[in-house]
């Protein structure tokens, strides 16, 4: 029998065969070139109709956590639009193929989240091509390590905020007029919001900002029947980490400092997004769901 997300498993032993290794790609990088391959749930995620008939937009849906979420949403019965950078077309095509294999619609909407006009137009295009919108997953993100504040480029600070924070704001703002009661928004923060690495000043600050934004706007939108929550992944094996997300010499021990003693896989993040997207979480509002291998959070 093939393992799926319901199989009884020792979480310390899971994914022992996927060891992090030193490598480098230029930003934004491709899952297609990441070795060893991450588990996006291609062989392991089993759907059960939990999002039947929903329409979802996932930014950064081409790779990593967003791609695993796209596969899971599709297998739970949702039509899925993915947004990504044009340079990621190869990854996006593969994920669109997996979405279609689930028997739902796949929509591809490439562009740059640092461009406010793209952000504003993205929601209209998703609504148009999906025929509506019930779920927005703000997941696209930028992370570039830097050892010393005196060498952190002003442009990098600004870009990280534009992609991680401003896009989350602009997409949420544009989506709200389209969202019926029952719709959900899920933002992607990080364990970096609570325990920031000294090499990730700009990134950690954006993830803390996303957490605060989530908890504030969740209260504003709850009376409209729109629930906003966040997922806070810990160290997860994705291309983000090998495109200067971490100092390369730290990659080999990536995730070893968690209580589970290992890094996570994108497939282990997707069920958190499914839970927050579905009506199962109807009384969960403004929550940050950590999936981080056991690091304590406030």
Q: Give residues in contact with Mg ion (CB under 5 A).
A: 62-63, 88
Out of 42, 112, 244, 287, name the contact with ligand NAD by CB under 6 A: 112
120 within 8 A of 60, measured Cβ to Cβ: no
Q: Which stretch binds ligand NAD (CB under 6 A): 72-80, 145-153, 172-180, 230-238?
A: 230-238
Query: Sheet harboring 288-291: ordered strands across?
Result: 106-110, 79-84, 55-59, 135-138, 184-188, 227-233, 288-291
Q: Is 113 in the site for ligand NAD (CB under 6 A)?
A: yes
Instruction: Tell the smallest beta-carbon distance from residue 53 to ligand NAD (Å).
Output: 26
Out of 88, 134, 202, 268, name the contact with ligand NAD by CB under 6 A: 88
Block residue for tokens 């390369």: 248
Block residue for tokens 């461009």: 115
Q: d(Cα 283, Cα 112) in Å, to the nearest integer? A: 34
Q: Which stretch binds ligand NAD (CB under 6 A): 9-17, 58-66, 119-127, 170-178?
A: 58-66
Instruction: Tell the smallest beta-carbon distance from residue 225 to ligand NAD (Å).
Output: 26
Q: d(Cα 98, Cα 194) in Å, to the nearest integer? A: 34
Q: Which stretch binds ligand NAD (CB under 6 A): 57-65, 100-108, 129-137, 280-288?
A: 57-65
Contacts of 131 (CB under 8 A, 6+ apart): 55, 79
Give the tokens for residue 129: 């091509």
Q: d(Cα 9, Cα 262) in Å, to the nearest integer? A: 15
Q: What is the dihedral of CA 202, 29, 266, 111, to 10 degrees?
A: 80
Give the tokens for residue 139: 């997941």
Chosen from ligand NAD, Mg ion, none, partner binding at 291 (C-beta under 5 to 8 Å by type): none
Name the residue nearer to Mg ion (CB basis): 63 or 241. Answer: 63
67 within 8 A of 95, measured Cβ to Cβ: yes
Considering 45, 84, 203, 273, which one is annotated as catalytic? 203
Name the residue nearer to Mg ion (CB basis): 241 or 290. Answer: 241
> What is 162-185 written as a DSSP string?
IIIIIHHHHHHHHHGGGPPTT-EE
Q: Is 118 a catalytic residue?
A: no
Q: Is 63 in the site for ligand NAD (CB under 6 A)?
A: yes
Q: Is 139 in the site for ligand NAD (CB under 6 A)?
A: yes
Chosen from Mg ion, ligand NAD, none, partner binding at 288 (C-beta under 5 to 8 Å by type): none
Q: d(Cα 187, Cα 175) in Å, to the nearest integer? A: 13
Show contacts with ligand NAD in window 185-214 (CB under 6 A): 188, 190
Name the residue nearer to Mg ion (CB basis): 238 or 278. Answer: 238
Q: Is 293 in the site for ligand NAD (CB under 6 A)?
A: no
Out of 14, 40, 65, 171, name the contact with ligand NAD by CB under 6 A: 65
295 within 8 A of 232, measured Cβ to Cβ: no
Instruction: Tell the smallest beta-carbon distance from residue 150 to Mg ion (Å).
Output: 30
- Residues linked to residue 290 through DSSP beta bridges, in sequence order: 232
Chosen from Mg ion, ligand NAD, none, partner binding at 139 (C-beta under 5 to 8 Å by type): ligand NAD
Residues acting as catalytic residues: 203
Which residues of the shown chain bind ligand NAD in the complex (CB under 6 A)? 28, 60, 62-66, 84-85, 88, 112-114, 139-143, 163, 188, 190, 233, 235-236, 238-241
């Amino acid at each position: 029998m093939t393992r799926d997300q319901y199989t009884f498993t020792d979480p310390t032993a899971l994914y022992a065969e996927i060891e992090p290794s030193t490598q480098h790609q230029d930003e934004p990088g491709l899952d297609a070139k990441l070795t060893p391959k991450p588990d996006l749930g291609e062989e392991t995620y089993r759907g059960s109709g939990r999002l039947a008939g929903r329409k979802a937009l996932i930014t950064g849906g081409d790779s990593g956590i967003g791609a695993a979420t796209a596969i899971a949403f599709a297998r739970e019965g949702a039509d899925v639009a993915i947004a990504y950078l044009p340079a990621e077309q190869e990854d996006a095509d593969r994920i669109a193929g997996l979405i279609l294999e689930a028997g739902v619609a796949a929509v591809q909407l490439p562009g740059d989240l640092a461009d406010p006009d793209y952000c504003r137009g993205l929601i209209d295009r998703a609504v148009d091509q999906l025929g509506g919108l019930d779920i927005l997953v703000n997941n696209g993100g930028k992370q570039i390590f830097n050892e010393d504040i005196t060498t952190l480029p002003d442009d990098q600070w600004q870009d990280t905020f534009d992609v991680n924070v401003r896009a989350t704001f602009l997409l949420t703002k544009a989506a709200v007029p389209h969202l019926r009661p029952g719709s959900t928004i899920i933002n992607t923060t990080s364990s970096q919001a609570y325990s920031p690495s000294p090499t990730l000043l700009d990134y950690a600050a954006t993830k803390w900002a996303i957490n605060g934004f989530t908890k504030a706007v969740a209260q504003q939108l709850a009376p409209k029947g729109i629930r906003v929550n966040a997922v806070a992944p810990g160290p997860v094996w994705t291309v983000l980490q090998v495109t200067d997300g971490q100092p390369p010499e730290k990659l080999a021990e990536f995730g070893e400092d968690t209580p589970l003693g290992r890094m996570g896989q994108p497939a282990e993040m997707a069920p958190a997004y499914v839970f927050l997207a579905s009506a199962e979480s109807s009384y969960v509002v403004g929550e940050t769901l950590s999936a981080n291998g056991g690091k304590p959070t406030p």
